[in-house]
Structures are given as structure tokens and as C-alpha cells.
Structure 1
Amino acid sequence: MSLSSSLQVGVSGLTASQNALNTTAHNLANVNTKGYTRQQVVMADFAYQKWGVNHISTLQTGLGVDIETVRQVRNMFYDKSYRTELGRQGFYQTQYETVQEVESMFGELEGVAFQDSINDLWVSLQEFAKTPDTIENRASLLEDARSFLERADNISKQLSNYQVNLNKQIMEKVNTVNDIADKIYNLNQKISLYESNGQEHANDLRDERNNLLDELGGIINITYKENSIGVVTVSAEDMPLVTENETYKMDVAKVSESSDLLKPVWASFNRDVYRMDLPISTENNTDIGSLKGLLVSRGSDKANYTDIPVKPVKTSGMSDADYDAALADYAGKVKEYNSTVNVSVIMTAQAQFDQLIHGIVTSINDIFSPNKEVTLAGNVTLPNGVTLNAGEKIMILDEDNAPYGMDKPDYTQGEALFNRKSTDRYSASVPVTIDNGDGTTTIKNVRIYNKENSSDIYSLFTLGEIEINPEISNNYSKLPLSAGKEVVGVDVKSAEKLLALWNKPFAALSPNSLAVSTFKDYYTNFTGEIGTWGNELNTISQNQATMVQNIDDQRQSIMGVSSDEELTNLIKYQHAYNASSRFITVIDQMMEHIVTRL
């Protein structure tokens, strides 16, 4: 091997050591940079010069060292696990935050509990039932009823407003996904161009892209792969988001024409981003991403008490076939409830809270203004033009059991405490023919009750549609609890019903609960269930956070920069550089010696 060739060996050592020192210095400079991936110099033989062959092997001389690559030290398995579990943490953390917001609306932890409004109304009802003839008790009842209703309406509006306001967070996350997709696409182009010569690696650009994939994984469920030219293609919820040639953007659209709620959609594919009918499970990876967590906790519609299925009760006039059909219909409604309302924090709170208010309002009304069911013996046309046919069962004011007011000389009978804003409790008094059930009929003027219709929100005693009866607001004496016209004394049966109202079993929280509660217990169970739900979500979220941290720690142990290790490498490469320099000096001295001796 010639001395000039030996100089090349020394120069290659200087160059390789210098590049290794630069890489080590770059690592040390980014020791605290979040998302930075440690870079490692991989050295290889430069080339060999063949100068002969013997019976064992080829005789050759090495020409030095070369930098084969400067690689990033990462573990793809940890990266994928980290992004999946981070998305799962975001899914449950988002729902937990929603539960916290809902809990704060009822004021149980802020000293303004809605429970107080229920208790105040109950105390006023008791006092009124004991001494209904005092104007003070009547005024107190009206005031507490108004306060109860205003507070309930306020909570309902807060729930609805919060539900709609989540649109903003959904739009922000959709915009973030689109922005990240654009950035990944642009980085793909830069990385592909930079590495096109096959010699250099755009490691810092790759770090930036990996950080974007981490952020994207927390928002939506993604899969990705890198091709041979360094381009990463990304799919979100099994649909292409970033390809080699373009990005596919998300957009938002209304859940329905009549809804104010928004949902993410694929603008290019004209389809929803999520299939919300799929059950939430870790096994199927349907619980990933903070964006989906928002959609699940918000729900797809505003709920009320009619969304909670009520199990049918077999009556004496119901055949087995009809009862079986009613049970089958109920089972279908329960399944729908569990897949739509019961998975949403807000919709569950809306439906169960509305059921409580509906129960209290209608129970009080049915004491002050009781109804009974009768069968028509002939057709009747109501003032609004609706015709009722013979044989049809209707509800009318039960004048035999309805208490009277104290308003002289009218002594109004059956005036309800609560009204629907857009629907009168009764139609105008009309003459009807009633089937007495014994072969005889009776013709009399009756007030026909306008039933609630689940398809017409204006007919429901639901929050937002309930008001204090203006007739009673304007004249307290119309509040009925007297035994009769010009009769001194309380309607004992109605008073007893009022006193027993709060101890009477009311309803179960949902079709999944067998326990039927009183009004007070129902509210306690309701708030307790929300709190339990929140604790479960918080526990899952914290467990996920621990798992994410553990995976990230393992990632960092591989990709993170260790200052001790890098300082060791720095000394190593400095010595290698010095050795190469010393080697060149020796060769130079040898060449000088030879030249000066010629």
C-alpha cells in the first residue's frame, strides 16, 4: 500500500470522526428538546484495494472508513402503541371533562344544590295542604313553584347550550386534523426531495413529522406506513387522510336538518367520519380519539323524558298477543336508548332530569286537576276541528274528585298549578255521549284533556315548555284544595295525596335500573349516577395516562438523548479524530524522510 493511499485512510478517519462529533454535538444541543430523536452515526468500510490472491483468500487492503448513514434511533412498536393509547386517553378524558361540567350545573358542590329547590317546593306543598285557606301559604307555594321551575329551566338551558357549544370544540379538532394533514403532506415532499440522492437523511424533518403523528393520534384513530422514498401515508378511521399525492379534508355538517349539532364528515367521500352505531369497546378500537370522545359525550340530539322507555303494564283489557307485542316494542326502544342516549353524558342527564321534572309537575297537577278515562258512545267534534269517534277512550276532568278554588263566586274547579306554554290542559267544554259500561249512556258537558304526544314537543310537560298557570299567578285563590263550592274546609283526599306525594314511588332512572325511587331518592340517585360515571371515566383516564407515560418512558429510553452517553461518544470520537490526525502526521513524516533522503 502506498504512502499516499495511507494518507487517504487517515483523511477518511478525520472526516468520519468529524461528522460523528457534529452528530454528537447536535444530540447534546437537543437533550431537552421535546420530540427530538437521538441520531446515531453508522460507520462502514470505505473500499478495498485488491493486490493478490492466495490459497485461503483474496489479499486486499482497506482504504479507510465511511459514514454509511446517520440514523434515528426509534422503535416503531412503541410509537404505534403510544399513539393508540394516547388517543384512548383522550377519548375518556374528554368525557370526564364533560361530566365535570354537567355536575357543576346542578350546583351540588357549589352550595346552590337543585336539591334545595325540590325540598322548598315540598315544604310549601305540605304547609299548603295543612292550611290552604291562608294567603301566605298560597303565595309561598306559588313562589317556590316558580323558583323550582326557573331553576330547572336554567339547568336545562345550560345543558342545551353546553351541548351546542361543543360544536366549537368539534370544529377546532376537525381544523386541527386538516392542518396536521397538510403539514405531514408538506413534510413528506421535503423529506422525499432531501433524501432523493440516497446519501442524506432528513432526520430533523422526520422528528417534526413524528411529533405531528403523535398529536394526530391523540385526536383520532390513525394507521400509517412509510414507503421506500420516505413518504408516510396516513388513514384516519379507516379512510385515507394523507396519501402520496394529496390530502383528504374533513368538514362538519349538521346531524340533521332540524338540529343545531354538528358532526365531522369526509368532504371528498360524502360520508360520516364515525359510525356512531358501533358499540364502544377497547377490543374493537372504537374508543380512540378526543374528537370521538366529544361526539359520544355530547350525543346526537337534545333528549327529554320521552326518550326513556317505559315498560308496558298488562291491563285487564289487554290480550296476551298485544302485551307480547308491547314488550317486543319496549325491548327495541331499550336497545335504541342504550345505543344513543345511555352512552352520552349530556343526553342521559337531559332525559333523566326531564323525567324528574315531568314527574313532579304532572303528579302535582293530577292532584289539583285529576283526570279519568271514559269511553265515547258517539262521535264528537272538538272546537279545533279534530273529530273523536265512538268507542274511543279519552281523558276528561274528573269533576267528582277535583278540588275547588276559593275564588268567589266562581269557585273554579280543577285549575292546574303548571301549564304547557303552547297547549291548554283541556279543550273547551263540549257535550259528549259517554258509555257508562252497563249498557247505558250519559250526555254531559266535559273538558277533554289534551294528551301529551311524544312527536309534538309543544304538547309535552317538558323543560322549556312548562310555565306556572297564569290564572293562578294572577289570583292565588284559584289554587284548588277546597271540598266544594261555598264549603268551608279542605278536600281531605286531595290534601292527603299531596302529603303522600313525596313518599310515593315515582320511577326508575332508566330501563336498566330496577329500583323505583321517590322524587327525593330519584334526584339523589341521579346525581350519584353522574358522579359514579365521572369517577369511572376519571379512573380509566388516569390509568390510560399512566400507561401512556410508561410507553413514552420506554420510547424515550430508546430515542431520547442521554447526556452521559453522548459525552462518552464525544470523548470516543475526539480520540478517534486525534488518532487519525496522529496517523496522518506519521505518514507525513515518513514521506518527508523519504523525500529528503533521495
Structure 2
Amino acid sequence: MASSFAGIEIGKRSLMAHSTQISTAGHNISNADTEGYSRQRVNVRAFDPLYRPDLERAQVAGQIGQGTDVESITRVRDELLDSRIVGQTNVESYWATREKYYAMIESVYNEPEEISVRGNMDKFWQGWQELSVYPDSDAARQAVVTRGQTLTDSIRQQFRGLSEIGKQIDGDIEATVRQVNDISSQIAAVNAEIVRSRAMGDNPNDLMDRRDLLVEKLANLINVTVDRKDPDEFMVHTDGQVIVQGSLARQIKSVPQIDNNGYGKLVWTDTGIDAQFHGGTLGALIELRDKDIRSEVQSLNTMALNFADLVNDVHRNAVGKNNVTGLDFFVQHDFVENTNGNYDRNGDGVEDSSYVFRMTGKNALRPQEQIGLEGTMTFNGASGNVNVSYYASDTVADVVNRINDSNAEVKAYLDRNSNLVLKATSSASMENPDFVIRHVEDSGMFLTGYSGILAQSGEGGAYDFNRADAVTSLDGAQFAVSPVMSPADYMEVNPAVTGDVRSVAAAFANTIGDADPGDARAAVEIAAMRNTKVMIGTGRTFDDYFAESVTNVGLKGEQAQNQLASQNKIMDDLRSLRDSISGVNIDEELADIIKFQHGYNAAAKFVTVQDELLDTLINRLGV
């Protein structure tokens, strides 16, 4: 039979349930502004009845209820929505990072017109044009020298501006790596606490909120996905690699690279395997440093190197007012001291490579002449070698354009003497050095007997930089060894020219090797370089280079702004939806508290009534 005190028990359970509900609502209100907190709800159920059908029971009508019971306290959370937010967070932070840094890159290029690199180069060309009009004028020569110095200063300033941004990005990468390691360790620690709490039969709601917040912060730094299949082994993946598995967290570290200006590459500490990140702040920073900034610096170096090389080529063959010849206008520094470009690439003390920047054929060519030859040339490309075919009906200009339009990291043009020139460009891959011709081969005769670069056709006569003295493959062609890594940083006007402006060469030598008064052919030739097709990287002229470089930076900055605005809108919608589900509504919680308070008061009244009934039964019955 039912206990006489059953009513007291029912009232007690009701009081406890309503008290728990009031406390939980108060907990929600107190954490309304806590980052990552999701509101909690008390799940109650009817307590097991006094009699169950499968057990022996007294003969009474129906089941006798025993009040209520708190089954669990759970948080209100949509895991599918959480997964969408985690998946999109890294995209938002990726574009936010790119937008911030491209604003800085644009500031390097957006100099006032009169002091920009392009403005100073225009003045430099104008100086040579003025010298061509007044070839005997020392004042015109001084203007050329001064404008040359101003130009080299502005090129150096732009290089250092880009380099400083690169150093800042590298510092941000190191800081972000520390954050990733710290957050992943925190997630692992929280995982361990959650497992222990669940083992005791609890729902660690606040711990799970903290873990979800940490995962979202991690997703802001790198692209991550979450595996919740096993509640005891919560896992976080990034780019196919596990970064957190239960209570274990993997770490990443930076390993310095000589080929990338000393900047480090990221590897997993436990395996040493490269750590790849293609999203989030860290992914954006790595891409900015190793691709965008590297590309901009390479482009500036390419322009500076070719600019100095072309001006020097004319100037050293011309004669100054003081009849001095053979002087370079700009100072160039070779990467190696060996005259054949031999270099010890692997550092074992033995020269094993040839670093050559330019090859010039010994035969003069006519651009519109049909070559009457067929074959296939092979040059080094970004990934492997590139084949360039030529046919009997092609003109010299056709073949030159076909080389330049290919994906080869070698460019071609005809110099002032109509000789074919092959020049190395910057390398797309960090594994390959910049401004080094790595492979030249011809199955036919265009690069051999016709232009006079290679001594022999076929694979046996190929030039390949992976051996010392590779220049022996050249058929007496002139060549220049490669410059140091960043020519834009050291470029300056030759001190021999600044010391005596009369050394500025405006004329070509006469029959006795002197400069004729009024001869301005060299000055005219240098001034004409402004619009001459000389292949500066992918641009064909210097003006093409400046147009492409400024446009490229502007468009990438615009892309980052547009993508960030779009992603912000997506994330605002997702976060608003999550807040509507998991966020704390103060008015709703207050209404619940009032409801639970009334329930508590009613339960207390019920206990009072039960107390009065028992008092009557115990103290007054039988009196």
C-alpha cells in the first residue's frame, strides 16, 4: 500500500524540480553576455509510479503517481548549424587578412605621381631625351645622373616597403602558430574534462560551450572540420590531418628556409611532414608571404635587373664626353665570382651548378626573315621543361614571340645588334633560383647555327645548369652570370659616373674610338627603351610592366574587399540564426522564472496541506 508520507515526497520532488529550474534560468541570465554561452533547459519527467505492471502490486485502481523528477539539464544547440559556422569562419578570416594586408601593399604602390617609381622612371627617360638634344651639355648629363639616383632610391624604397610587409607577415605567422598550438591544447584539455564529467553521468554543458567556442576560435585561424561521432573522442581535422584527437593535441612549428629569404615553412612537430593550411588567418598569411609578396618582390627585381642590364648594355658600348668607354651606368653585383657562373649549390665544397642569367647569340638576325628551319626548342618552366616548336614558314619575330608567349621561365628578344638574347626570369617555385637559365635545348638548328647560341643540336648539346661549366655548351655566345637575389635592393648609379658626369655616354665611338661632337645615338637608343619591346617579366615594355603591376595589386585588393563583404553577410546571417536558437533572451528567462516561482509556491502549499493531514492523523485521531 502507499506510504502515508508519499505526499510529502511528491511535494519535495516538486520543490526540488522547480528550484533547479529557477537556478538554471538564473544561470542563463547571468551568462547572457558570456561569449560562446548557449542557454540551458531543465528536462523534467514524471517520477516512476508506485506500482508497475510487471511487478507484484496491491489491488488498487490504476497507477499511483509519485510526482516529478529532473531528468537532465541540457544546452540548446544546433550542431548542424555549428558545423556550418565552423566551416565558414575560416573563409571570413582568410579574406579579412588579405584585405588588411593588400591595403598595406597598395600604399606601397600608391605614391604621389611625382615621386613614384614610374614617375621617376619617366623623368629618367626624359633626361636621356634631353641629352640626345644637347649631347655636349654637362648640365644634361648631370640631370641624367641625378634622375638615375632618384630612380634607384625610389626602387630601393619600394623594395624595402614590400620587404617590411613580408617581415610583418612572417611575424604574424609565428604569432598565429603559437595561437593554434595553444588553442588546440586547450581543446584537448577540455575534452579530457568532458569525458571525466560524462563518466560520472553529468552533462558538462558549460565545458561543451567552452570547447565549441575554442573550436570556432581555431577555425578563425585555420580551416578545420569537427568529428563528433564518438562522444568520448572528439576530433578536429585540418586539411586531412588530425590536429586534436580526444585529449591529444598535435603541434606545429616553423623550420627556416634559405630559399625563401630565411622565412620558415610549417611542419608537424611529431612527424616533420609539411603542414598545409589553405584557409583562415594562417592560410592567408602564408599565401600572402610566400606567393603575393614574393611575386611582387620578384616582379620589382625583374624590372630593376632588366632595366639596369639594358641601359648598361648600350652605355658600356658607347663613349662619354671624356672619351671613356666600357662603363656600366648602373652597378650590378654578380651572384658568383666564377666567370663561368659555377656555383656550389648543395654546399659540399664542389661546384656543381652554373648560374647564368643571359645568353646572347653571335649571329645577327632579321626579324621579318623566314627561318626556313623546323625543330623544337626546350626551356625550363615553372614545373618541368617547356617545348616551343618552330617551322620553316616562321619569321624570326614569330619564333621570339612564341618563346615569350610560352610558359617557359626564359624570355627572348633581339638586342641593338639584332642578336638573339635569352634571359632568365624569376622562378615560380622556391626550389629553383631566380634569374638563372636552367635548361636550353634545340632539336633543330635555330638556336645553334642560325642564331649562334648553342654549339650542338639535340640532347647532347643542351645547356643544363645542373653541372659546372655548362657554358661549354654555348657556341661562343656571350653570357652574363646571375645577379644576387634582390637586385632592386642594391641597385645604384655607378660611382665612376657620378664622380665625373662627362663619363655619361651619349655617343658611339667613331673610327678612332672617340666621341664625335654632337653625336647622340647612344642617348637616343637609351631614351627609346621606354617603349621598346624588351620583355620585362610578362610585360613586353616598361610601361606594360608598370600597368600590369599596379593593376594586379589594385584588382587583388578589390577582390579581397568584395569577398570579405560577401562573407561578412553570410556569417552575420548564420550567427543571427544561432543566437535565435542558443542565445539567452532575458524576457523569456524572466517569464520562465515567474512560472517556476508559481509552481514552487504551489508545491510548498501542497507540502503544507500534507503536513496538516499528517498532523490530524497522528496527533488528533482517536482523541
Instruction: Provide TM-score, normalisation by structure 1.
Output: 0.74
Q: CA deviation at 1:193?
A: 2.1
**Which structure 2 residues correspond to residues 468-487 of structure 1 after superposition, within 5 A?**
468-482=493-507, 484=510
Aligned 8 A contact 1:191 1:231 in 2: no
Shift of 1:457: 4.0
Task: Name 2:237's counterpart in structure 1.
Answer: 235
Cα distance, 1:179–1:100 mapped onto 2, change above 3 Å: same
What per-residue deviation string (whole Å, max 9, x for no partner) do you get for residues 215-235 of structure 1?
001111222234665552222
Pick aligned residue for 1:290 from 265, 281, 284: 281
1:416 alignment counterpart: 328
* Among candidates 214, 219, 222, match of residue 221 of structure 2: 219
2:593 maps to 1:570: yes
Q: How many angstroms apart in 2 are the aligned matches of 1:204 and 1:436?
A: 81
User: 1:460: how far off?
Assistant: 8.4
Alignment of 1:142-181 (within 5 A): 142-181=145-184
Q: Within 5 Å, give how 1:250-289 maps onto structure 2.
A: 250-256=252-258, 259-274=261-276, 287-289=278-280
* Deviation string, structure 1 residues 513-545 (Cα, Å, up to 9, x no partner): xxx554235313311220111110121122112
Matched, 1:525 2:553: no
Question: CA, structure 1 residues 52+173, in 2 after alignment: closer, same or farther (shift >3 Å)?
Answer: closer
Distance 2:364 2:193 in 1: 88
Measure, in 1, the Cα distance between the counterparts of 2:286 and 2:582: 35
The answer on whether the counterparts of 2:221 and 2:282 sit within 8 Å (CA) in structure 1 is yes
**Cα deviation, residue 47, structure 1:** 1.2
State the Cα deviation string for residues 62-94 of structure 1 (Å, max 9, x = none): 111111111011111111111111111122222
Aligned match of 1:366: 313
Give the TM-score of the pair, scaled to structure 2: 0.71
Structure 2: give runs of 5+ residues left out of the alignment.
340-361, 366-420, 425-434, 437-480
Q: Distance in 1 between matches of 2:134 and 2:520?
A: 11
CA distance in 1, matches of 2:50, 2:325: 116
Partners of 1:72 and 1:207 in 2: how far apart? 9
AA at the equivalent of 1:535: E
Does the residue aligned with 1:264 lie in a helix, a strand or coil?
strand
Q: Which amino acid aligns with 1:187?
A: V
Matched residues, percent identical? Answer: 22
Preserved CA contact (<8 Å) 2:87 2:225: no
Equivalent residue of 1:271, what SS? coil
Corresponding letter in the other structure for 2:325 = Q
Distance 1:246 1:459 in 2: 46
- Structure 1 residues 227 and 451, CA, compared in 2 at 3 Å: closer, same or farther? closer
Partner of 1:206: 208
Structure 2 residue corresponding to 1:350, chosen from 279, 285, 297:
297
Distance across 2 between alignment mates of 1:207 and 1:492: 79
Q: Per-residue deviation at 1:414? A: 4.4
**1:406 corresponds to which residue?**
321
C-alpha displacement of 1:546: 1.6
Change (3 A) 1:161 1:149: same
Amino acid at match of 1:481: A
SS of corresponding position for 1:48 = coil
Q: Over residues 370-423 of structure 1, what are the superposed CA-to-partner deviations in whole Å (9 max), with x where a residue is unaligned?
A: xxxxxxxxxxxxxxxxxxxxxxxxxxxxxxxx432111xxx1234331131348
Find 2:123's aligned residue among 120, 123, 137: 120
Matches of 2:596 and 2:221, distance apart in 1: 43
1:9-29 deviation digits (Å, cap 9, x = unpaired): 111110000000000011011
- Output the CA distance in 1 between the equivalents of 2:83 and 2:363: 74
Matched, 1:544 2:580: no
Q: Is the 8 A contact 2:18 2:600 kept in 1?
A: yes
DSSP 3-state at the match of 1:116:
helix
Q: Which has the higher mean CA deviation after the structures are superposed, 218-227 or 31-40? A: 218-227
In 2, distance between residues paired with 1:237 and 1:436?
55
Q: Does 1:497 align with 2:444?
A: no
Farther-moved stretch of structure 1 (58-67 vs 210-219):
58-67
Distance in 1, Cα, partners of 2:225 & 2:209: 18
Give the alignment partner of residue 554 of structure 1, picking from 572, 577, 581: 577
Amino acid at match of 2:88: E
Q: Which amino acid is 1:178 matched to?
A: N
Runs ≥4 residues deviating over 6 A: 51-54, 423-427, 434-437, 450-453
Select 2:491's aligned residue among 459, 462, 466: 466
Cα RMSD over matched residues? 3.3
Tell me the distance in 2 between the aligned counterparts of 1:75 and 1:192: 21
Shift of 1:503: 3.0
Contact 2:505/2:523, CA 8 A, preserved across alignment: no
- The one-character-per-residue Cα deviations of 1:19-71 (angstroms, maximum 9, x if unpaired) are 000000110111122211111111112211118899xx992111111111110
Q: Specify the SS of the correspondent of 1:94.
A: helix
After superposition, the Cα gap between the structure-2 partners of 1:421 and 1:508, relative to the gap in structure 1 and judged at 3 Å, is: closer
| 8 Å Cα contact 2:302/2:536 also seen in 1 | no
Between the aligned partners of 2:486 and 2:164, the Cα distance in structure 1 is 20
Is the Cα–Cα contact under 8 Å of residues 220 and 288 in structure 1 kept in the other structure? yes
Distance in 2 separating the partners of 1:109 and 1:142: 22
What residue identity is the alignment partner of 2:304?
A: I
Which residue does 1:586 correspond to in 2?
609
Decide which moves more: 571-580 or 235-244. Answer: 235-244
Residues 231-283 of structure 1: CA deviation (Å, up to 9, x unaligned)? 52222322222223522211111245775011211111220111xxxxxxxxx
State the 1:435 CA deviation: 9.5
d(CA) in 2 for partners of 1:564, 1:403: 88
Q: For residues 110 and 14 of structure 1, what CA distance do their matches in structure 2 show?
A: 79
> Partner residue of 1:8?
9
CA distance in 2, matches of 1:414, 1:426: 21
| CA–CA separation in structure 2 for the residues paired with 1:476 and 1:347 | 36
Kept in 2, the 8 Å contact 1:156–1:463? The answer is: yes
Letter in 2 for 1:405: G
